[in-house]
Amino acid sequence: MKEFKGQLISKGFKVAIVVSRFNNFITEKLLDGAKDALMRSGSKEEEIDVVRVPGAFEIPLVAKRLLLSKKYQAVICLAAIIRGETPHFDFIAAEVSKGIAQLNLEFALPVTYGIITADNTDQAIERAGNKMGNKGFQAAQSAIELLNLFTDANI
């Protein structure tokens, strides 16, 4: 019986990071975390492209365009959606999640979810912490692991 497990080695993979400018005091920390995870795993700067979008809602569209370009083997999606006083949060969070999930299935490539959904700013800041407590770091690790799993298992 064979067992396949993705490794955290990112050498040679071309990756795009799509990051929302909205709530940038949080999303910049997510971006730092994602870049840190990629670099620690062996990525070179020229293997990483960062694409900034106005808000979380634009992420699935831009991620799809990046995948259609066939330049990238993975797309890491980063945003911070913080609940306000209206139902806007619920609609945005649901549609962004759905859009990212659809891209995974449509392209059969890693489109990872580094989207913080929080009830308040303090919760969002906690989830944008350093190293393993950073959702951007975790999303980048997921992308690397999946890319290696697909390669190793030849799937």
Give pLDDT tens digits for 101-141.
999 999 999 999 999 999 999 999 999 985 448 999 999 99
Whether residue 82 contacts residue 27, with contact meaning beta carbons closer than 8 Å, is answered with no
Return the pLDDT at 11: 81
Residue ranges of the alpha helices (H) in 1-134? 24-40, 59-68, 88-107, 121-126
Which contiguous run of DSSP H or E holds residue 143? helix 135-153
Q: Encode pLDDT of 72-101 as tens digits.
A: 999 999 999 999 988 999 999 999 999 999
pLDDT-above-70 percentage for the chain: 98
* Averaged pLDDT for residues 23-35: 97
pLDDT-above-90 percentage for the chain: 86
Is residue 37 pLDDT above 50, yes or no? yes
Q: Which domains are delineated in the chain?
A: 15-153 (3.40.50.960)
Return the pLDDT at 130: 54
Q: Does the active-site annotation cover 136?
A: no
Distance (Å, rounded) from C-alpha 71 to C-alpha 76? 14
Rounded to two decimals, the pTM is 0.95
Q: What backbone phi and psi angles, to 5 degrees, belong to 9? A: -125, 115
Which contiguous run of DSSP H or E holds residue 50? strand 48-53
Q: Encode pLDDT of 141-154 as tens digits.
A: 999 999 999 998 98
Q: What is the DSSP letter of 71?
A: -
Catalytic residue chosen out of the listed positions 11, 88, 98, 131 = 88
Distance (Å, rounded) from C-alpha 56 to C-alpha 78? 8
Return the pLDDT at 131: 46
Distance (Å, rounded) from C-alpha 52 to C-alpha 68? 18
